[in-house]
Amino acid sequence: MKLENGTYQTKAGSTVEISGEHGGISHVSFDWVEEPNACIDCRVDPYPHHWGKDEDGNDEWRLYWECDRCGGGSSRLERVPQVVHEGQMRIGDLTIRVHHLDDGRRIIPTEDFEAFLAWLENGPGISPEDARMLGMLLRQTGEG
Ligand SMILES: [Zn+2]
């Protein structure tokens, strides 16, 4: 069993990129400082291990590291959603980017959201039509 091509991340921020025609290329960026149960002597296994199914029935993959000094450890990998389309949305005189992710979510980049908040605070205010569009957008971007 192999991991699908894509980018994966542990809770502490180490990343694994799986690529190649047959998913055989693995590029690991291991954060020795941030990972719990890790020290600078730890040796990372370059390919994630299939751990089994989680309680929701999803395949669980883990990054493993071994160590003679600290005993090593592992951490669950979560797939990092990829941007498949970058759209734009106009609200009054403001344009913000909306990223469509491959898991179906739509997100607003942080700097665009901050620009939107500044615009709300300092701008001309929003029309009822803008408010309606904004409500639609926020419902689409919400998780779940
Ligand atoms: Zn160690």
Among 79, 106, 124, give the residue marking a domain's end. 79
Mean pLDDT by 10 residues, the chain (144 residues): 90 96 93 92 94 91 96 95 91 88 90 88 74 74 50
Residue numbers of the domain that contains 49: 6-79
Tell me how far the alpha carbon of residue 73 lies from the centroid of ligand 1, in angstroms.
8
* Domain co-membership, 52 together with 68: yes
* Residues 40 and 98 grouped into a single domain: no
Separation of CA 99 and ligand 1 centre (Å): 38
Query: 87 and 74, same structural domain?
Result: no
The domain total for the chain is 2
Strands 73-79 and 6-9: antiparallel
pLDDT, position 144: 40
Q: Give pLDDT, residue 50.
A: 94
Residue 11 shares a structural domain with residue 38: yes
What spacing in Å lies between the alpha carbon of 136 and ligand 1's midpoint?
49
Do 14 and 63 belong to one domain? Answer: yes
pTM of the predicted structure, to 2 decimals: 0.68
